[in-house]
């Protein structure tokens, strides 16, 4: 047997480049998680993930959530935004002195139970079936606030991933046109890049106020940005009435 040849083959197989790469990047991810102040705070305050602080900061500044509202949270897993929204809209009815809100949370992934939330998990928001279910669960009301923190699985090709997210958000805007109250609010996540400007022009046509927001909890090295669209102009019918 030619042992040199087999030794080389064994060495090549055991290098397992894919795994090494994965190991290094997951180690980096772990190190970053361990030193991240928002991860620590999320654990201490019982939020399901650090993203909670993005919504808390935006809401503390712009006051978009109130008791009694109907809020639709799209791309909600693992559920930290839903936790924040349930608290601030009184969706569980824990505060007897405030109106009870309603929260509908949607994701492709499973979401474990959150007190006060109506969870539509393992479903694709872009499907008609999912959108029909949201409407069925809205008790004949239109939403006061629609949130989208959706993010497609990153392929690593920035331009492609960015376009995919633009397409998801355009579907959120399309849904909002029919399912949002006049003067309602939409908050959506996008990744900076091509397609954003075009979409923000559409937002400006639909809403009286559109702000670009980058909360402190959003990592500096992330291309993620949020568009806060307030004062929905409403659906204009052909007669001119809204
Ligand atoms: C950044 S996470 C959301 C985190 C969430 N806001 C929280 O605070 O827990 C993005 C989510 O978007 C979901 N998502 C992506 N595409 C979706 C789609 N077409 N329909 C529903 N959810 C989607 C992903 O499954 C993922 O859970």
95-128 pLDDT, tens digit per residue, is 999 999 999 999 999 999 999 999 999 999 999 9
What residues does each domain of the chain span? 17-46, 50-232
Percent of the chain with pLDDT over 70: 86
Residue pLDDT, tens place only, 75-101: 999 999 999 999 999 999 999 999 999
Ligand 1 atom 16 nearest Cα:
152
Residue 16: its pLDDT value, please? 32
The fourth-level CATH superfamily of domain 50-232 is: Vaccinia Virus protein VP39 (3.40.50.150)
Is residue 239 pLDDT above 70, yes or no?
A: no
Number of other residues whose CB lies within 10 A of the CB of residue 118: 18
Q: Are strands 143-148 and 117-120 parallel, antiparallel or unpaired?
A: unpaired
Distance from Cα 5 to the centre of ligand 1, integer Å: 49
Q: Please tell me the distance from the alpha carbon of residue 87 to that of residue 85, in angstroms, as a whole number.
A: 5
Residue pLDDT, tens place only, 161-213: 999 999 999 999 999 999 999 999 999 999 998 889 999 999 999 999 999 99
Residue 137: its pLDDT value, please? 98
Q: Which atom of ligand 1 is nearest to the CA of 126?
A: 19
Q: What residues act catalytically?
A: 189
Q: In what order do the strands lie in the sheet with 207-213?
A: 117-120, 102-106, 70-74, 143-148, 180-191, 224-232, 207-213
pLDDT category of residue 1 using cuts at 50, 70 and 90: very low
CB 87 within 8 A of CB 95: no
DSSP 8-state symbol, 16: -
Residue 32: its pLDDT value, please? 72
Q: Which atom of ligand 1 is nearest to the CA of 124?
A: 20
Q: Which of 98, 102, 137, 104 is nearest to 119 (CA)?
A: 104
Q: Please tell me the distance from the alpha carbon of residue 9 to that of residue 3, in angstroms, as a whole number.
A: 10
Distance from Cα 236 to the centre of ligand 1, integer Å: 31
Ligand 1 atom 23 nearest Cα:
75
Distance from Cα 10 to the centre of ligand 1, integer Å: 41
pLDDT category of residue 158 using cuts at 50, 70 and 90: confident
Distances (CA, A) of 159 to 200, 223, 225, 231: 17, 12, 15, 31
Residue pLDDT, tens place only, 34-62: 788 999 999 999 999 999 999 999 999 99
> Ligand 1 in contact with 107 (CB < 6 A)?
yes
Mean per-residue pLDDT over the chain, rounded: 88
DSSP 8-state symbol, 124: -
Residue 7: its pLDDT value, please? 43
Residue 23: its pLDDT value, please? 67
Distance between terminal CA atoms of the chain? Answer: 84
Higher pLDDT, 71 or 14: 71
> Ligand 1 in contact with 84 (CB < 6 A)?
no
Residue 150: its pLDDT value, please? 98
Q: Which atom of ligand 1 is nearest to the CA of 153?
A: 15
> Ligand 1 in contact with 73 (CB < 6 A)?
no
């Amino acid at each position: 047997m030619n042992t040199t040849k087999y030794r080389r083959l064994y060495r090549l197989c055991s290098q397992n480049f894919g795994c090494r790469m994965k190991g290094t990047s997951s180690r980096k991810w772990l190190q970053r998680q361990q030193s991240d102040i928002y991860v620590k705070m999320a654990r201490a305050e019982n939020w399901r993930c650090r993203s909670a602080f993005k919504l808390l900061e935006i809401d503390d500044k712009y006051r978009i959530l109130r008791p009694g509202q109907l809020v639709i949270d799209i791309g909600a897993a693992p559920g930290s935004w839903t936790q924040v929204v349930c608290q601030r809209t009184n969706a569980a009815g824990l505060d007897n002195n405030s109106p009870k809100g309603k929260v509908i949370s949607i994701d492709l992934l499973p979401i474990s139970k959150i007190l006060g939330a109506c969870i539509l998990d393992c479903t694709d928001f872009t499907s008609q079936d999912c959108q029909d279910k949201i409407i069925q669960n809205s008790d004949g009301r239109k939403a006061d606030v629609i949130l989208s923190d959706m993010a497609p699985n990153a392929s690593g090709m920035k331009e492609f991933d960015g376009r995919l997210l633009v397409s998801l958000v355009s579907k959120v805007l399309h849904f909002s046109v029919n399912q949002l109250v006049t003067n309602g609010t939409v908050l959506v996540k996008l990744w900076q890049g091509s397609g954003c400007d075009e979409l923000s022009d559409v937002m400006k046509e639909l809403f009286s106020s559109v702000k670009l927001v980058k909360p402190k909890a959003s990592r500096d090295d992330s291309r993620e940005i949020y568009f806060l669209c307030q004062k929905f102009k409403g659906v204009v019918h052909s007669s001119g009435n809204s």
